[in-house]
Each structure stands twice: as C-alpha cells, then as structure tokens.
Homo-oligomer: A and B are copies of this chain.
C-alpha cells in the first residue's frame, strides 16, 4: 500500500531518546532472554534440548528456585489482605489457622494503615513502618535514626534511581562506581546521562577495596573535568561478595569528607555474610556516626536496603527503604516531591519491610519457627556458596574468590585462544560465547563478566548459588561436565 509505506512512525529506534537506547542491563539481557525462550520451548514439550529445565543463576531470585518464604511474614500478609478473617464470625476458625501473635501483628499493622492496604499511603511510606525501620537501624548500629529521614521504596533499585536522578545535573556529573558492579548503576548513569567513574576492586585480594585506587580514580576523573559528586559502595559486594572491614570503611568515609562526595551505600546484602566472626557486616551509617565530629556531621550518606535479599528473598514484592544522613533540607523536600509524583511505594512491599525489620522476638509464639526458617535459609546459603566455590576452583583454568557475602560467585576463566577465536567468528565477546555455550549445554543461565565490568583480557561470569540444595550435586556435575568439554574442544 503506497500511502502506508510513506508513513513515518512518531517513535523509532533512530529518533528515540538516545539515553534510553544507551542503557545496558545484562542481568536480564541476551542470556536471560535466550533462557526465557528455551524455557518456553521446554514448556511446549520440545525434547530436542540437552536439558530438561532452565536453572536461572542470572539473578538473585531465591523464591524462583524454590526457597520457601518465611511463614510468619506470609501469615500476617494473608490476614491483612482479607481482614474479614478476623471478623467475629470467622475469628474462631482463623485462630486455628493463625497463631495469636500473627493475629496481633496483623491488627497492629491494619491500625497503622487506617485499615486500608488498598489505599495510597503517605508518599514517603507509612509512618509507623518508618518508625520501625528507625528502631531497627538504631538497634543494629547503636546510633539513633530519624523516621523522617527514611523513605520506603520500590525495592532498593527505585531508591537508587531516585537519588542518582537528583545528583546528575548535567552530563559532566560523575559518580564513582566499583568495577565489577551491579549494572543498575551503569544503566542508571546512562539513562540520566551522568559519567561513570570506575574504581577497580582487587581480585587478587578477595575483591578488596583500596582507598589508593579510589584516590587515583577520582583524581583522573577530576583532571578530565568530570564533576564527581558521589561514591557508590556495594557492601557486601555484588557481584564480588567482598565484606568491608571497619577500618576500610572509615577510610572511605574520610575520603568522602576530604573530597566532598556523597556516599551511596548499597547494603542490600547486609544479612548475607558468611564469615560473621572475621568479617561481620557494619553499616556505613554506624561508621559515619562513629567518625570525628566534622566528618560525622557533614558527609552526606544515603544507604539502601531491600526485602529482596537476605533470608527474606521477597523480590517480587518490590519493597525497600533508604535512609538519608546530612542531606540538605531543601534537597530532602525535593526527594519528597519526587516520591509524591510516584504516589507511594506499593503497600504490600511496605508491610514486608515492616516484617523484615521487626520479626518475631524470643518469647513470641512464632519465634521458634521463624528462627528455624531464617537460620535454615542462612546456613543453606552458606553451604551452597562454599560448595559452588570449591566446584569452580576445581575446574581447569578457573579461579574463584570465596563469597564473603551476598548471593553470587564471580569466577575468572582463562579462556583458551581457540575459544577466543571461535567467539570472534561467532560475533560474540569471549565471555558471552562461553556463557551461551553453557546455557545450551546445561540449561544453566549465568551472566558474562562484561555485564558487570572486568579488566581487559580477563573473563568472568556471575552465578548465583541459589539452586535448591537437593539439586546441587547434579547442578555442579553439569557445570563441570560442560566446562571440561568446552576446554577439550578449544584447548
């Protein structure tokens, strides 16, 4: 049809917002999309594939891999969803299904909601929940926290993007990010047209962070005219799992003070620490609060937490919070305004934040089961991290630091030259090529290191250690078999 072919669309790949076009997000990129396609094939009964199921190790998504949610949390949520369960008529039956402390907690939360989980809440998040978050922070750190400085968010991601969007006034504004990093940061910097200012973690030292490296990276960027305004630290690290020491963190806080940088502390893995004696979690809020007065009272800190990780694992609920310290009050007004345009974070997610920061306590009816579930998930994560770590290190040309924390391993693979040539011939980066071959051979979906950043001519991938423990032998055996065969082919 002639007239149709003359029609120019209003929105095309060519004329769209280039900043959107420039965003890259590997965690759900080519590998993940291919894994989805293969999953659909399996569901349609395709038997031509080398595996019977897709194992999604591309994303920290515990309940996708059969982690059972915490019973107490879900019992409370069920009662809040359907408050008629607590009507006079239904209460006797409900009492047989729900422990008394669950019922009490649901009633308390309902009261703080004004009874309406279906209503928009305060844009900053429900006041009573922010008070519980502040109490949790104060108990964790030993320093006070102010509910007015806390914002409930749509996962941690939503909060990170809100703050970065405010910081990036123009395309000269830079934000220091670790390499390797969780690609939310590079994606958001691309979207808001800011400059990533990379600092490298030291693979040879358990992915440790060196403040000399911070200093050099900052200096180089400022020498190039970049207006560096903030430093992102992911602790425990993602994808690298490192846990910072107190001393290292105090250096960071001093570094921010000396260089007038806002510190963005991504602390979503704070309960995922697997060497709690040697490397316990410390929050940047605590370290900053214990710094000398001029530092403590000046350095701007935003710290992020989430219900998606830890032993909670409620990713799909999109809940989280951030706490602001020392921010300009007029900036805080702007934070509020932007939260209000989005109306409010979803209320179920807010309630899960409440449950995470205020779980059953010793003496409560639900405590033994809660404790057993939380401890069970934690111990299992620790065992799985160690098993996968050993398995990677047993493979030819693979070396892998232990996961001090978080949910991932980030092994390095020395790819043979023949593999690199084959990748080039296939039009792929070498690490992409390796991971695609792994997916085809095993159904296991991991993410190439290039999605997180890595030094030139090194190749890594990120894998979660979340497959169910009873399937771990099989999972590891498959990875090992694939890797041997890959090496045999290209050695």
Q: Which A residues contact B (CB, under 8 angstroms)?
A: 1, 3-4, 7-13, 15-18, 20-21, 23, 25, 27-29, 32, 36, 59, 61-64, 66, 69, 71, 74-75, 77-79, 81-85, 90, 93-94, 96-97, 114, 116-123, 154-155, 157-158, 165-169, 184, 187-188, 191-192, 229-230, 257, 260-262, 293-294, 297-298, 300, 308, 313-318, 326-328, 330-331, 334, 337-338, 340-349
- CB neighbours (8 Å) of A116 from chain B are 63-64, 66, 316
Inter-chain CA distance A122–B327, complex, in Å, is 36
Q: Are B298 and A7 in contact, CB atoms less than 8 angstroms apart?
A: yes
- CB neighbours (8 Å) of A297 from chain B are 1, 4
- CB neighbours (8 Å) of A260 from chain B are 7-10
Q: Are A119 and B63 in contact, CB atoms less than 8 angstroms apart?
A: yes
A203 to chain B, nearest CB (A): 27
**Known contacts being A13-B331, A61-B119, A316-B121, is A71 close to B96, with CB within 8 Å?**
no
- CB neighbours (8 Å) of A32 from chain B are 340
Q: Are B187 and A12 in contact, CB atoms less than 8 angstroms apart?
A: no
Q: Are A13 and B334 in contact, CB atoms less than 8 angstroms apart?
A: yes
**Known contacts being A20-B338, A114-B64, A167-B17, is A81 close to B74, with CB within 8 Å?**
yes
- CB neighbours (8 Å) of A331 from chain B are 9, 11-13, 16
12 example contacts (A-B, Cβ-Cβ < 8 A) are as follows: A11-B167, A11-B230, A11-B262, A13-B334, A18-B169, A78-B81, A117-B316, A119-B315, A316-B344, A318-B343, A346-B346, A346-B348
- CB neighbours (8 Å) of A85 from chain B are 78, 97
Inter-chain CA distance A4–B326, complex, in Å, is 12
Q: Are A9 and B93 in contact, CB atoms less than 8 angstroms apart?
A: no
Q: Are A96 and B93 in contact, CB atoms less than 8 angstroms apart?
A: yes
- CB neighbours (8 Å) of A81 from chain B are 74, 77-78, 81
- CB neighbours (8 Å) of A327 from chain B are 9, 11
- CB neighbours (8 Å) of A334 from chain B are 13, 16, 20-21
Inter-chain CA distance A318–B120, complex, in Å, is 9
Q: Are A10 and B74 in contact, CB atoms less than 8 angstroms apart?
A: no
- CB neighbours (8 Å) of A187 from chain B are 341
Inter-chain CA distance A28–B294, complex, in Å, is 36
Q: Are A169 and B17 in contact, CB atoms less than 8 angstroms apart?
A: yes
Known A11-B327, A61-B120; further 13 A-B contacts with Cβ < 8 A: A16-B334, A27-B340, A69-B118, A74-B82, A78-B78, A81-B81, A93-B96, A154-B318, A184-B341, A315-B343, A316-B344, A316-B346, A316-B347
Inter-chain CA distance A61–B1, complex, in Å, is 48
- CB neighbours (8 Å) of A97 from chain B are 85, 90, 93-94, 97
Specify which of B78, B318, B330 is in contact with A13 (CB 8 Å cutoff): B330
- CB neighbours (8 Å) of A330 from chain B are 12-13
Closest B residue to A64 by beta carbon equals: B119
- CB neighbours (8 Å) of A158 from chain B are 342
Q: Are B71 and A84 in contact, CB atoms less than 8 angstroms apart?
A: yes
Inter-chain CA distance A18–B318, complex, in Å, is 28
Most buried by B among A83, A187, A347: A347
Inter-chain CA distance A340–B33, complex, in Å, is 10
Closest B residue to A127 by beta carbon equals: B40
Closest B residue to A192 by beta carbon equals: B17
Q: Are A166 and B93 in contact, CB atoms less than 8 angstroms apart?
A: no
- CB neighbours (8 Å) of A20 from chain B are 165-166, 334, 338
Closest B residue to A7 by beta carbon equals: B298
Inter-chain CA distance A63–B119, complex, in Å, is 5
Most buried by B among A116, A118, A315, A344: A118
Q: Are B338 and A118 in contact, CB atoms less than 8 angstroms apart?
A: no
